C-alpha cells in the first residue's frame, strides 16, 4: 500500500526539543522483535529545490532520487505485500526537511531511508556513502551536512522554524551533541548493509558509514539513514546515476540491504548477550552467565558513544541501570522482566522520562 502526505510540525526551539521531545513512538519502539511493517522512503530535494546540478543544469539530483526511490518502493511492495511503503514525495514536490521525518514519525514507520546524490567542486571523488545521525567534526562529513542542511533556505520563514540554525556555522551543530538516539545502533547496522550492497554495483567505491548532523534525520523515532548514491560531479558516477539501468541497479542494491535488515529486524532482539541484574552501571562480557534463565526483557532508554558514571544526571534518577558496549556504542537499559507484557507496562512508564524507550529481549 502506498500513501503520500505531509503535515507541518509545531514551531519549537531546537534545544528544548532535544531535551524534552516526546514524539509518537514508532512500532519499532513498542516491542522489539515485531516485524518491520512500514518503511518511509524519502527522495531528497524536489520542487523548487533541485539539489545538486550537473552538465549545465540538464541533470538535477531531485529527479535521480525520485526515480531510485520509486524503483526501490516497487521492489519492496512486490516482495513484501504485508509491508506498507510510504513516500515523503512521489512527484516533483518541495518538502521541508522537518516535515519529512515528522511524516515518518506520525505514520509509525519502522525504517526511514533518505536518498540523495553527492557533488563537490573536484571531479575526482567517486563512490557511495551512508550517513546516520551524529556529530562528526571531520571536514568531509561537515561539508556534506552543510550541503544537505542548506536546503532549508528554500523554506518560508526557515529562521523561525529552525530557531536561527545556520547550516554554514559549525557552532550550530553543537546542538546535535545533546541527542541520545535509542535507534542509533540499528541505524548503523542498516547503513552498513547499504554500503556492503552498494559496493557490488557499477559505482564500486565504498566511502563507508559516517555520522553527520543532518536535519532530515535528527527528529526520527526509528532506525534511519541518508544514502549518498554517488557523485554527479564525477563523470563515471554520473553515467550510472543518470541511466535507467544504473538507477535500477542502485535501487536493487538498496532493496538487498532492506531485505537483510528486515530479516534481522523480524527476529527477536536476543542477539545481544544477557545483562546481569545490578543496581550499578557496569560492563558485561559475552562470557558472563545470566542470573535469570531464558529470555529477559529490559527497556532500552538510549544508546550513546560514551560511558557514563553511575549517578549521571542522564539517567534522571533511575538506579536500576545496565549497559552493554556494542562496537562504539553504549546501550543503556533499565528493568528486568520475565515476560514481554511486564516489560511493556514498565516501558510505558519510562517513556515519561525517555520518550524513545523501547523493549528489548535478551537471552
pLDDT per position as a tens digit, 103-124: 998 999 999 999 999 999 899 9
With cut-offs at 50, 70 and 90, classify the pLDDT of residue 148: low
- Over range 210-236, report the average pLDDT: 86
Question: In the prediction, which pLDDT does 76 show?
Answer: 97
Is residue 61 within 8 Å of residue 54, measured between CB atoms?
no
Is residue 128 within 8 Å of residue 196, measured between CB atoms?
no
Q: What residues form DSSP beta bridges with 60?
A: 53
Whether the pLDDT of residue 253 is over 50: the answer is yes
**C-alpha span between 10 and 118 (Å, rounded):** 31
Burial 204-233 (b: 16+ CB within 10 A, else e): ebbbebbbbbbbbbbbbbbbbbbbbbbbbb
Beta-carbon-side half-sphere exposure of residue 297 (alpha carbons within 13 Å)? 19
- Over range 296-318, report the average pLDDT: 83
Is residue 191 within 8 Å of residue 225, measured between CB atoms?
yes
Strand 296-304 relative to strand 329-337, pairing: antiparallel
Name the DSSP class of 33.
T
Task: Go through the domains of the chain in sequence order and give each one's CATH number.
Answer: 2-265 (3.40.630.40), 296-362 (3.30.70.1070)
Q: Which of 328, 269, 302, 265 is nearest to 181 (CA)?
A: 302
pLDDT higher at 263 or 174: 263
**C-alpha span between 89 and 3 (Å, rounded):** 10
**C-alpha span between 263 and 284 (Å, rounded):** 27
Question: In the prediction, which pLDDT does 351 show?
Answer: 85
Question: In the prediction, which pLDDT does 119 show?
Answer: 92
Determine if the pTM surpasses 0.85.
no
pLDDT higher at 327 or 291: 327
**Residue the block writes with cell 553527492:** 118
Of these ranges, 82-96, 130-144, 152-166, the one predicted with the greatest mean pLDDT is 82-96
The predicted-structure confidence for 59-115, as pLDDT tens digits, reads as follows 999 999 999 999 999 999 999 999 999 999 999 999 988 889 889 989 999 999 999
Name the DSSP class of 44.
-
- Looking at the chain, the whole-number percentage of residues with pLDDT higher than 70 is 68
Whether the pLDDT of residue 278 is over 50: the answer is no
Question: In the prediction, which pLDDT does 20 show?
Answer: 36
Question: In the prediction, which pLDDT does 103 show?
Answer: 93
Please state, rounded to an integer, the average pLDDT across all residues of the chain.
75
With cut-offs at 50, 70 and 90, classify the pLDDT of residue 279: very low
Whether the pLDDT of residue 7 is over 90: the answer is no
Q: Which of 36, 31, 28, 9 is nearest to 337 (CA)?
A: 31
The cell numbers describing 153, all together, are 533556505
Of these ranges, 36-45, 278-287, 307-316, 339-348, the one predicted with the greatest mean pLDDT is 36-45
Amino acid at each position: 500500500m502506498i500513501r503520500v502526505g505531509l503535515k507541518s510540525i509545531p514551531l519549537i526551539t531546537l534545544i528544548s526539543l532535544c531535551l524534552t521531545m516526546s514524539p509518537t513512538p514508532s512500532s519499532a519502539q513498542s516491542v522489539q522483535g515485531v516485524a518491520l511493517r512500514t518503511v518511509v522512503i524519502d527522495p531528497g530535494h524536489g520542487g523548487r529545490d533541485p539539489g545538486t546540478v550537473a552538465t549545465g543544469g540538464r541533470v538535477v539530483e531531485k529527479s535521480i532520487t525520485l526515480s531510485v526511490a520509486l524503483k526501490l518502493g516497487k521492489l519492496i511492495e512486490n516482495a513484501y505485500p504485508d509491508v506498507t511503503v510510504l513516500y515523503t514525495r512521489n512527484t516533483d514536490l518541495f518538502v521541508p526537511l522537518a516535515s519529512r521525518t515528522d511524516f515518518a514519525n506520525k505514520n509509525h514507520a519502522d525504517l526511514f531511508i533518505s536518498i540523495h546524490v553527492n557533488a563537490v567542486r573536484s571531479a575526482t571523488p567517486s563512490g557511495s556513502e551512508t550517513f546516520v545521525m551524529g556529530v562528526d567534526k571531520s571536514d568531509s562529513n561537515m561539508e556534506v551536512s552543510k550541503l544537505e542542511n542548506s536546503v532549508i533556505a528554500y523554506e518560508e520563514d526557515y529562521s523561525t522554524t529552525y530557531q536561527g540554525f545556520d547550516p554554514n556555522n559549525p557552532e550550530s551543530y553543537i546542538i546535535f551533541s545533546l541527542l541520545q538516539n535509542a535507534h542509533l545502533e540499528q541505524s548503523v547496522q542498516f547503513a552498513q548493509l547499504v554500503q556492503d550492497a552498494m559496493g557490488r554495483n557499477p559505482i564500486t567505491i565504498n566511502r563507508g558509514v559516517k555520522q553527520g548532523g543532518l536535519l532530515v534525520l535528527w527528529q526520527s523515532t526509528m532506525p534511519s539513514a541518508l544514502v549518498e548514491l554517488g557523485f554527479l560531479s564525477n563523470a563515471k558516477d554520473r553515467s550510472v546515476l543518470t541511466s535507467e539501468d544504473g538507477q535500477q541497479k542502485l535501487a536493487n542494491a538498496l532493496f538487498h540491504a532492506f531485505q537483510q535488515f528486515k530479516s534481522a529486524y523480524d527476529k527477536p532482539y536476543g542477539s545481544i548477550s544477557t545483562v546481569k541484574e545490578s543496581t550499578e552501571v557496569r560492563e558485561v562480557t559475552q562470557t558472563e552467565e545470566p542470573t535469570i534463565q531464558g529470555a529477559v526483557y529490559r527497556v532500552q532508554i538510549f544508546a550513546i558513544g560514551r560511558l557514563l558514571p553511575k549517578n549521571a544526571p542522564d539517567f534522571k534518577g533511575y538506579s536500576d541501570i545496565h549497559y552493554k558496549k556494542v562496537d562504539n556504542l553504549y546501550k543503556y537499559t533499565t528493568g528486568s522482566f520475565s515476560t514481554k507484557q511486564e516489560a511493556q507496562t514498565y516501558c510505558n512508564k519510562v517513556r515519561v522520562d525517555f520518550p524513545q524507550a523501547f523493549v528489548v529481549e535478551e537471552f
